[in-house]
């Protein structure tokens, strides 16, 4: 009879693996290197994660899940532009600490690795789509037409990804934050203009 899995062990192992990867490339992950770093057996890792591909996927999913708090906050907005902009500003502040930066690096690397795969359920693409859906819903709630909302959200999301890439490469928090504030300012003005036009058109 198979021994039941320790349900608490796997999440703890996954967290320890992510901590280990904070200063290492995702591409170099293997059961042997992780076993040595965590002082566990490769059998333990295989027992909980199955294959290397499944372990990498679990790591990628855990890394992308860090955005859930921000997405939930946007989902709970009441249709006020100022609230929406402040939530985006708060999400930027949360991304500035070293751990968040390294998790963002892992997500970028995971996206590059997944881009070579043909599977439809790519986790990094799902994370990107989740950001877009949440943002579109928030803008539509404010009164922005859906087509305009989809375009504006795609622009702001890819711009934020670009700013995070800039931050990882340059490590210049002051200048990237200034750029973020300028982007947010222009975004807020465009959304306000779209709301005004829609209200004037449809009363």
DSSP letters spanning 5-74 = P-TTHHHHHHHHHHHHHTTS-GGG--HHHHHHHHT--HHHHHHHH-SHHHHHHHHHHHHHGGGHHHHHHH
- Write out pLDDT tens, residues 39-64: 999 999 999 999 988 888 888 888 87
Q: What was the pLDDT predicted at 40? A: 93
Mean pLDDT in residue range 148-170: 95
User: If pLDDT is split at 50, 70 and 90, which confidence band does 1 have?
Assistant: very low
CA distance 97 to 33: 26
The first and second tokens of residue 150, run together, are 């989809």
Q: What is the pTM of this model?
A: 0.85
User: If pLDDT is split at 50, 70 and 90, which confidence band does 7 have?
Assistant: low
Average pLDDT of the chain? Answer: 88
The contacts of residue 106 (CB under 8 Å, 6+ apart) are 18, 21, 22, 26, 59, 60, 63
Q: What was the pLDDT predicted at 135? A: 92
- Write out pLDDT tens, residues 121-149: 777 777 888 888 999 999 999 999 999 99
């Amino acid at each position: 009879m198979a021994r039941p899995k320790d349900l608490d062990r796997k999440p703890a192992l996954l967290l320890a693996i992510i901590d280990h990867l904070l200063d290492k490339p995702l591409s170099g992950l293997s059961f042997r290197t992780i076993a040595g770093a965590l002082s566990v057996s490769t059998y333990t890792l295989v027992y909980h994660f199955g294959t290397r591909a499944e372990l990498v996927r679990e790591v990628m999913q855990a890394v992308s899940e860090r955005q859930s708090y921000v997405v939930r906050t946007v989902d709970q907005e009441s249709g006020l532009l100022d609230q929406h902009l402040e939530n985006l500003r708060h999400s930027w502040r949360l991304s500035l600490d070293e751990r968040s930066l390294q998790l963002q690096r892992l997500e970028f690397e995971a996206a590059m690795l997944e881009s070579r795969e043909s599977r439809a359920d790519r986790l990094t693409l799902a994370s990107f789509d989740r950001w877009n859906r949440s943002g579109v819903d928030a803008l539509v709630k404010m009164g922005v037409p859906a087509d305009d909302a989809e375009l504006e959200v795609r622009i702001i999301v890819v711009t934020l990804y670009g700013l995070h890439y800039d931050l990882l490469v340059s490590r210049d928090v002051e200048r990237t934050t200034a750029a973020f504030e300028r982007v947010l300012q222009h975004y807020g003005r465009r959304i306000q203009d779209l709301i005004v036009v829609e209200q004037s058109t449809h009363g």
